[in-house]
A and B are shown apart, each in its own frame.
Chain A
Amino acid sequence: MPSPVKPHPRTPWQEFWYRFRKNKLAVVGMGVILLYVSIALFADFFYSWDFVVGNQIPNAFATVGTKAVVELGGKKVEHLYILGADNFGRDVLGRMIHGARVSMIIGFITIAFAVLVGGSLGAIAGFYGGVLETIIMRGADILLAIPNMLFALAIVAAMGPSFQNLLLAIGITSVPIYVRLVRASVLTVKDQEFVEAARALGARDGRIIVRHVLPNCMAPVIVQATLGIAQSILSATFLSFLGLGIQPPAPEWGNMLSEARPYIISAPHTLIFPGLAIMTVILAYNLIGDGLRDALDPKLRR
């Protein structure tokens, strides 16, 4: 006898994973990011730091696939420039791989910071209301009134270019969106019965926020954080391109492009590949973000 209800009620997590997996593009994006993360983790295994930072002037502008003799640790070895060499004869692929490490770190740290700070502020504002809420929300409004990248640019321009300042600038400018998001979610869950019930049972505020309110606003935050990582990486390359981020000779995709700029005519490969790297990473995060949103958005469910 066929049962009147579906025989396979999935857990929310299975349901989410099932829906996410169906989105082929998002899965591809996930694969790309895993690839980049592993490349970033094992960057030194592929190319040593000294090699990608040290000049090899005689091989400057070696084209894609050139084999040339390089000095490495005082020894002369033959080296294959898979994606060619830049104006200092440094291996483009090697610099891109070490650049991936920088970009991944920036993306994760800034967004982790923004989610923690913004999320806490938003939860406090939503949960307690009153003057505290007004102060937090007006502050967020004002920060949102300045375009993100312009604000980040102003911060590093004022504080001086360094890795810490770059992280700080991008981190701070990413905060307000999470304040708003979490507060909005908290407001919608706060008065629902299960929260009232928890309160009636004598649970403390902190426990209610952590156990009941936050899990209910995870979905929008996860989606936003994924897209936020893309935005952070883009901002970092943008600032580095303007000379305000990672300083050469340390490799970073944005400063690689900045260095390649005068050689558009003579060495287009120094321009094309780092740009492709930026684009694929951002694209991959956007694909995952879209996939997550579709999989998590209950409004789109059948």
Chain B
Amino acid sequence: MGKAQLSIQNLQVEYHTDEEVIHAVNGISLDLEEGESLGLVGETGAGKTTLALSILGLLPKPNGRIVDGSIFFEGKELSKTSEEEMRQIRGNRISMIFQDPMTSLNPIFPVGEQIAEALEVHFSLTKEQAEKKTAELLELVGIPRNRMGEYPHQFSGGMKQRVVIAMALACNPKLLLADEPTTALDVTIQAQVLRMIRDLKRRMRTTLILISHDLGVVAQICNTVAIMYAGKIMEYGKIEDVFRNPLHPYTEGLFASIPRLDRTQRRLSSIPGLIPDPSNLPTGCVFHPRCPYRMGVCEKTVPPLVEWEGRKVHCLKYREG
């Protein structure tokens, strides 16, 4: 350890509104080696996007703030870095692909210009060089270079997402955060875009955090997976291990709720109850109200992080020794 490219320690993020405090991320720790690809899986509202935005320092102001913990990237603590330095990291060392390609592009500028902009900010390129690089990037994501002068409304959803990906890759980032990159797309396009992200990642040796609520998507691309629930990581480990033998009751529930072709199932099960209100989290283990293996102690004790069969898991079922 210590050599990790990205290291998040006990991160806590809150959103403050007039009425309440929303606990979006509640003590997350993660370490990512260079070139690793991590899948962050969880239901809507589990704090996945918030985690990504805190890495980039783009939590919505003035409501969102990091209240505790730290994020180290290449040895530098991001939450203590000046805005000016963060700006040089954003889009350059770390970049992000956003969820909805329909709204992620500025409607009044040609797409080429929006890609070139990232290049112009981070590399001192002449206009011609930036244009040349932009054209290459567009071709890399499978868009003919002669469409760079067109506006977002002239592209389809899948094409827009390609533009967003080209934009994110423009400066060869060391770390790529992909927030549900395929959720807004048609199923047929989803596969194309996923394959593209995987190939580009391999070619550019980028570290990847893929955020998704879809275990299948994560399985296609990632080597490690972290299951998030109510702003916490429930289980974190190699993807094969987690898929083959889920340890945490929540992970188990997640797997039981997706249809599988390799087994005969009478019916799909679902996890009873709803995800907790983030302004009013349960005491003890956040998952205990919905947990089928609930024990008395779960209401009172916050489960520690336990190393179990090469994985990390937050559950009182697993105790050392």
Any A–B CB pair closer than 8 Å:
yes
State how many angstroms separate the Cβ of B295 from the closest Cβ of chain A: 14
**In the complex, per-residue mask of B17-29: 1 if CB is within 8 Å of any chain A CB, else 0:** 1100000000000
Query: Are B18 and A2 within 8 A (Cβ)?
Result: no
Query: Are A22 and B18 within 8 A (Cβ)?
Result: yes
Query: Are A2 and B17 within 8 A (Cβ)?
Result: no
Query: Are A4 and B274 within 8 A (Cβ)?
Result: yes
- The interface stretch among B94-102, B207-215, B277-285 is B277-285
Query: Contact partner of B275 among A1, A2, A4, CB < 8 A?
Result: A4
Query: Which A residues between 271 and 302 are near B, CB-CB below 8 angstroms?
Result: 302
Say whether A204 faces chain B, with CB atoms less than 8 Å apart: no
Chain B residues with CB under 8 Å of A302's CB are: 17
Chain A residues with CB under 8 Å of B290's CB are: 4
> CA of A302 to CA of B290 in the docked complex: distance in angstroms?
26
Cβ-closest chain B residue relative to A1: B289
Say whether A265 faces chain B, with CB atoms less than 8 Å apart: no
Say whether A5 faces chain B, with CB atoms less than 8 Å apart: yes
> CA of A164 to CA of B280 in the docked complex: distance in angstroms?
59
Query: Contact partner of A4 among B17, B18, B276, B283, CB < 8 A?
Result: B276
Secondary structure dominating the interface of A: loop
State how many angstroms separate the Cβ of B138 from the closest Cβ of chain A: 34
State how many angstroms separate the Cβ of A4 from the closest Cβ of chain B: 5
Interface residues on B, range: 10 to 19
Say whether A76 faces chain B, with CB atoms less than 8 Å apart: no
Interface residues on A, range: under 10
Query: Which B residues between 258 and 289 are near A, CB-CB below 8 angstroms?
Result: 273-277, 280-283, 289
Say whether B307 faces chain A, with CB atoms less than 8 Å apart: no
**In the complex, per-residue mask of A6-27: 1 if CB is within 8 Å of any chain B CB, else 0:** 1000000000000000100000
Say whether B74 faces chain A, with CB atoms less than 8 Å apart: no
State how many angstroms separate the Cβ of A17 from the closest Cβ of chain B: 15
Cβ-closest chain B residue relative to A2: B282
State how many angstroms separate the Cβ of A280 from the closest Cβ of chain B: 28
Cβ-closest chain A residue relative to B22: A302
> CA of A5 to CA of B282 in the docked complex: distance in angstroms?
11
Chain B residues with CB under 8 Å of A4's CB are: 273-277, 282, 289-290
State how many angstroms separate the Cβ of A9 from the closest Cβ of chain B: 12
Query: Contact partner of A1 among B17, B18, B277, B299, CB < 8 A?
Result: B299
State how many angstroms separate the Cβ of A294 from the closest Cβ of chain B: 12
State how many angstroms separate the Cβ of A185 from the closest Cβ of chain B: 24
Cβ-closest chain A residue relative to B283: A2
Query: Are A6 and B18 within 8 A (Cβ)?
Result: no
Q: In the A-B complex, list the 3 residue pairs whose CB atoms are closest, starting with the nearest.
A: A4-B274, A2-B282, A4-B276
9 cross-chain CB contacts under 8 A: A1-B299, A2-B276, A2-B282, A2-B283, A4-B274, A4-B276, A4-B277, A4-B282, A6-B277
- Residues of chain A having any CB pair with chain B under 8 Å: 1-2, 4-6, 22, 302
Further contacts, 16 of them, CB under 8 A, given A1-B299, A5-B277, A6-B277: A1-B282, A1-B289, A2-B276, A2-B280, A2-B281, A2-B282, A2-B283, A2-B289, A4-B273, A4-B275, A4-B276, A4-B277, A4-B289, A5-B274, A6-B280, A302-B17
